[in-house]
Amino acid sequence: MSFNPPSSDPLSVELSFRYCEDFTYRHDENFPVASFFIPKDKRKYIAAIYAFARTADDFADEPGVDQQERMGKLIAWEQELADCYAGTAKRAVFIALRETINQYDIPQDLFLRLLTAFKSDVTTRRHATFHDVLRYCTNSANPVGRLVLLLFGYRDEKLFAYSDHICTALQLTNFWQDVTVDLDKDRVYLPLEDLRRFGVSEQELLSRSFTPAFRNLLEFQVTRTREHFEKGKPLLESVRRDLKLELRLTWRGGMEILRKIENAGYDVLTRRPVLSKIDKLVLLFRSLLKF
């Protein structure tokens, strides 16, 4: 993959943000990223955070690259983050990120937690327990919600806790939606303890065998994921109008993916559930009706 190289000549903050915005809009996501429902003055900052995280995620998943090289790229990215906080960023992503950090007083730990998750993707292919999966979500997903809240001026721990539930639920939803995508990368996020509990062998999983046991396993995961969405739902009514619609769309989008999984009889092994353009329009309409 290619990414913005460091520059020997100083890059302007404006050009750096423009690079991050172009990068963001080139990537397709299930859930809105720096969408037009976010106030215009916030979009460039969200794009800077996204460009940082997505590039690191791509390092962890880069095809044709061995584990050592992937880890080396992530370690180098972490060093550039340290340089960013020290005020010596040279790459567009980090110049824009530095401006974002200064503007909103963002702690470095949130970005380090994201990098911890990406490193885990390189080294860890299986998760023994659901607790292990939740711990992964604590690093891979929850920092994102906290970063967004910081950009909108929220620092309340109660709101952070609601956000953590929603972000964990979104990450879990993505796991259940992408079981086959992850299998292609030799990754299994379904907890091994649950595979044993429901009588699903890893060989059956690797061979994409949809069985009654797998159906029961995924139904169990979908149910526990909905519980996290519901625990985080109070956040939707706890923020101002400038963030409310985006959060509602994101929350409803995750719940709709779960509904599609359920309607497909929990068979995600033969067809990956996705949100169509019509689905997204319906979600937008329902979210707008809440105003």
Helix (H, G, I), strand (E, B) or coil at 41: helix
Which residue in 224, 198, 204 sits closest to 133, CA to CA? 224
Architecture of domain 1-106: Orthogonal Bundle (1.10)
pLDDT at 92: 96
Q: State pTM to two decimals.
A: 0.90
Q: Which helix (H) or strand (E) holds 249?
A: helix 241-263
Cα-based angle 178, 248, 271 (whole degrees, multiple of 5) = 20
Q: What is the pLDDT of residues 114-154, one digit of tens each?
A: 999 999 999 999 999 999 999 999 999 999 999 999 999 99
Query: Within 13 Å and on the Cβ side, how many CA atoms surround 204?
Result: 15
In the CATH hierarchy, which fold is given to the domain comprising 124-291? Farnesyl Diphosphate Synthase (1.10.600)
Helix (H, G, I), strand (E, B) or coil at 3: coil
Residues 243/45, Cβ–Cβ less than 8 Å: no
Residues 77/56, Cβ–Cβ less than 8 Å: yes
Q: Which residues of 71-101 are buried (b: 16+ CB within 10 A; e: fewer)?
A: bebbeebbebbebbbeeebbbbbbbbbbbbb
pLDDT at 288: 62
Query: Within 13 Å and on the Cβ side, how many CA atoms surround 47?
Result: 27
Residues 146/160, Cβ–Cβ less than 8 Å: yes
CB atoms within 10 A of CB 280: 16
User: Which tokens hold the place of 52?
Assistant: 């940082």
Judge whether 1-106 and 124-291 match in fold.
yes
First-to-last alpha carbon distance for the chain, in angstroms, is 42
> What does the pLDDT profile of the chain (291 residues) look like in tens digits?
445 555 544 679 999 999 999 998 887 554 444 456 789 999 999 999 999 999 999 999 888 889 999 999 999 999 999 999 999 999 999 999 999 999 999 999 999 999 999 999 999 999 999 999 999 999 999 999 999 999 999 999 999 999 999 999 999 999 999 999 999 999 999 999 999 999 999 999 999 999 999 999 999 999 999 999 999 999 999 999 999 999 999 999 999 999 999 999 999 999 999 887 776 667 666 666 664
pLDDT at 275: 83
Task: Tell me which residue has tokens 């990956």.
Answer: 272
CA 82 to CA 218: how far, in whole Å? 40
Task: Tell me which residue has tokens 């730990």.
Answer: 109
Residues 225/217, Cβ–Cβ less than 8 Å: no
> Where exactly are the structural domains of the chain?
1-106, 124-291
pLDDT at 8: 44
